[in-house]
Amino acid sequence: MFKLARKVVVAQLLIFLLGGCATSGERYQNPTMDFGTVRRVAVLPFTNLSRDTGAAERVRDVFSTMLLATGSIYVVPPGEVLRGITRTTPADPARPSPEEVKRLGGIIGVDAVITGVVREYGEVRSGQTAANVVSVSLQMIETQTGEVVWAAETTKGGITLRDRLFGARGEPMNVVTQQAVNELMDKLFGTKTKTKTKTKTKTKTKTKQ
Amino acid sequence: MRRERGRRPERSKEGVVAWRCRALVVLCAIPVLLVCATTAVPAPPLRVESLQPPLIAVLPFENLSASSAPLKEMRAHLVKRLQMRGMKLLGEEELLALMKAYRVRYTGGVEPRVAESFRGEAGVGGVLITSLGLYMDHIPPKVTLVSRLAGTDAPYTVIWADSVSLSGDDAPGILGLGLVYSVEVLMPRALDRLANSLAAHLLSEKPPTADRRVGTRYRPRGFYRSPVMSEGKRYSVAVLPFVNQSARRYAGELIALKIIEQLRKSEGFEVLEPGIVRDELLQFRIIFPEGASMADADILFERTKVDLLITGKVMDYDDSRGPGGAPNVTFYMQVIERQSRQVVWASHSTNRGDDGVFFFGAGRVTTADALASKMMAAVIQRIR
């Protein structure tokens, strides 16, 4: 009887520990790629699959700022990216072909370009409960070879147990976006980002190098 | 005299009556004082000091409110208030004649040829440009005015800049006694504040200062500051109109005006008159749907000789309609430096007027313009 109880406790602990290890998205990283050579990147316009027409721009701007804020990579201004796109004339600026990426890299002088897709951005409802959710996937393409060297996706927000029990409406959209971008940064740099939320709408971020 | 423990000293009947009378007077005075505190008292007119203010040309108001407003009456009120404070203003007929002679139709800025002609032909030392940012005449009424004084001497910098945002429910007070229901009441208050601020600057050389106690809630959500930016250096800055992706018309121009105001209020920046920047953009046919490219930046650096170019994007600039709503502002900002040809500052800011408000609406911001001012002040503090 005592042994059985001990087994149950151990099993519960394992479940908790494994639950903590779970991530909310997947990641691919080219094992032969030296990411130290990537000093300048261009963040291309993201594809928007959500209902909010401004979602792609919002996520792109937050991501660009946060990437620049790491101090490790220089992000070319969006006006310069547009100049490159105008001169390269890709069929779809959000999803350029390897040849188009190479040409773009030559024009604006970047080591890699980042493309992205905003799959979800907005409110989700379940019964009487609602909360904000953001789902984004990104790819980094090297401009020398035109190959995808890194890819990751994340989903943040959504309805939690607290929302269901207490009728809370989840975090504000901007906070959820920030959380999603922070997770993408973690996946890009392979580090853990400290996120300290002081108030409901304020998020302070520090990235360990 | 010894006082017995546990026993209160006895009071005479007259003493008790006098004490009750005093308590009654205090109780009656509290609501009166509270009402007085919530009602704005018009500031007394400033006296002219020994300093001689320059001759000022007051341009017709620019309407960025996207609604019809009595601009002529508002301008007349401002002119009257400035004259009352001892400002020397260019006469109406002379101003109209100059505007007609140089075909001045754009009143949201001053081009170099216009500034030169104003100075050369009429001896004008500064041009006062006022933009109406918001005009809501339904309850609660809201008014926003942004004003700046542009110099007519090269390098055509902004001498003074300030703004006023008022809403009818800014200070409701007890039982709503401080509520204002008419825009006709708010407008004179707004014009008074602008006139006082300009007069204080010109007559006592005291510039309007930036609010140093900007709450932490208005800080940018994320930012990058390059080590290239040095702290002690005085930078000359040109502010480009922001790309407007919000539902509000002219939000790009309004946020650019907010930056100019906050830069002028903080030390260490010399702001180029936006009319000069607009003139260069028109001359070289530069349009930027995504912000300035490096090629555009090179042209502007070469032509304007500034150290920094500020560009960005506005995603939200919403004023609430009706009582109880909260404004919402979201913007991204980038600063490009001339020598390094790099982005030296990037930030994104987002706030609502009711952020951090928990008890009785204390600390609530009622207009998008006032909210943008606080957010921009927080950004400029970080840049310095």
pLDDT digits (tens, 9 = 90+) for A120-173: 999 888 887 888 999 999 999 999 999 999 999 999 988 888 778 777 777 888
Contact B221 A79 (CB under 8 A): no
Residue tagged 């009257």 (tokens):
B80
Which of A40, A43, A46, A58 to mutate: most B Cβ within 10 Å?
A58
Mean pLDDT, chain A, whole residue set: 81
What is the rounded distance in angstroms from the CA atom of residue B139 to the CA atom of residue B40?
18
Q: Which residues of chain B have a CB within 8 Å of the CB of A176?
A: none
Provide the pLDDT for residue B26. 61
Tell me which of B218, B329, B348, B374 to substitute to probe the interface with A (most A C-beta atoms closer than 10 Å). Answer: B348
Per-residue pLDDT for A196 more than 90? no
Spell out which residues of chain B touch residue A171, defining contact as CB-CB under 8 Å: none
**In this structure, what DSSP letter does residue B157 have?**
B
Cβ contact, residue pair B315, A81, below 8 Å: no
pLDDT band at A203 (very low <50, low <70, confident <90, very high): very low
Q: Do residues A116 and A47 touch, judged by C-beta distance below 8 A? A: yes
Q: Which residue of B lies nearest to A109 if distances are taken between CA atoms? A: B294
Suggest the residue from A53, A202, A204, A205 to mutate for an interface test with chain B (most B CBs closer than 10 A): A202
Average pLDDT over residues A97-124: 93
Joined tokens for residue B30: 């509290």
Chain A residues with CB within 8 Å of chain B CB = 54, 57-58, 61-62, 64-66, 68-69, 71, 74-75, 77-83, 174, 178, 198-199, 201-203, 205
CB < 8 Å to B313, chain A: 57, 61, 78
Is the preceding peptide bond at B227 cis, omega within 30 degrees of 0?
Answer: no
B261 close to B237: Cβ distance less than 8 angstroms = no
Alpha helices, DSSP H only, in A33-190? 55-69, 78-88, 98-108, 161-166, 173-189
Nearest to B315 among A54, A64, A80 (CB): A54
Rounded Cα distance between A44 and A64, Å, is 10
Least CA distance to B215: which residue of chain A? A202
Residue A52 to chain B, least CA–CA distance (Å): 12
Q: Looking at this protein, which amino acid is placed at residue B179?
A: L
Q: Which residue has the higher pLDDT, B210 or B369?
A: B369
pLDDT band at B3 (very low <50, low <70, confident <90, very high): very low
**CA triple B315-B317-B320, angle to 5 deg:** 135
Q: Which H or E element spans position B96? A: helix B92-101
Q: Which of A65, A68, A78 sits opposite B291 (nearest CB)?
A: A78
User: Torsion angle of alpha carbons B191, B197, B202, B205, nearest 10°?
Assistant: 180
CB contact under 8 A, A57 and B350: no
User: Taking a C-beta distance cutoff of 8 angstroms, is the pair B243, B289 a contact?
Assistant: yes
CB contact under 8 A, A202 and B221: yes
Residue B129 is encoded by which pair of tokens? 């440009």
> Position of tokens 């100059």?
B98
**Torsion angle defined by CA atoms of residues B376, B377, B381 and B383, in that order, rounded to the nearest 10 degrees:** 20
Checking if the pLDDT of B4 tops 70, the result is: no
**CB within 8 Å: A79 and B313:** no
A61, A74, A83: residue with CB nearest B313? A61
Is some CB atom of chain A closer than 8 A to the CB atom of B356? yes
| Cα–Cα distance, B65 to B161 (Å, whole number) | 19
pLDDT over 90 at B238, yes or no: yes
**pLDDT, position A11:** 65
Give strand pairing partners of B351: B329
- pLDDT score, position A28: 87
Structure token pair of residue A197: 């939320």
Predicted confidence (pLDDT) at residue B68 exceeds the cutoff of 60: yes
Q: CA B73, CA B62: separation in Å to the nearest integer?
A: 13
Outline where DSSP puts E strands in chain B: 56-58, 62-63, 126-136, 142-151, 158-167, 222-225, 235-239, 243-244, 269-271, 308-318, 328-337, 342-352
Two structure tokens written together for A124 = 């989700």
The first and second tokens of residue B283, run together, are: 């001359």
Q: Residues of A with CB below 8 A from B245's CB?
A: 54, 57
Q: Which among B292, B348, B356 is the nearest to A62, CB-wise?
A: B348
The pTM for the full model equals 0.80
B343 at A interface, C-beta within 8 A: yes
Spatial separation of the C-alpha atoms in residues B352 and B368, rounded to whole Å: 9
Whether B324 has a pLDDT exceeding 90, the answer reads no
In the numeric block, which tokens belong to residue B3? 């006082």
φ and ψ at residue A202, rounded to 5 degrees: -115, 130
B27, B83, B88: which is closest to B54 by C-alpha?
Answer: B88
Q: Using a CB–CB cutoff of 8 Å, tell me whether B222 touches chain A.
A: yes
Mean pLDDT is lowest, of A5-9, A197-201, B39-43, B192-196, for A197-201
Determine which of A4-18, B29-43, B94-108 has the lowest per-residue pLDDT on average. Answer: B29-43
Q: By CA distance, what is A62's nearest residue in B?
A: B348
Task: Write down the pLDDT at residue B7.
Answer: 44
Q: Which residues pair with B313 in a beta bridge?
A: B243, B332
Task: Spell out which residues of chain B touch residue A74, defining contact as CB-CB under 8 Å.
Answer: 342-343
| Whether the Cβ atoms of residue B87 and residue B198 lie closer than 8 Å to each other | yes
| B374 at interface of A, judged by CB pairs closer than 8 A | no
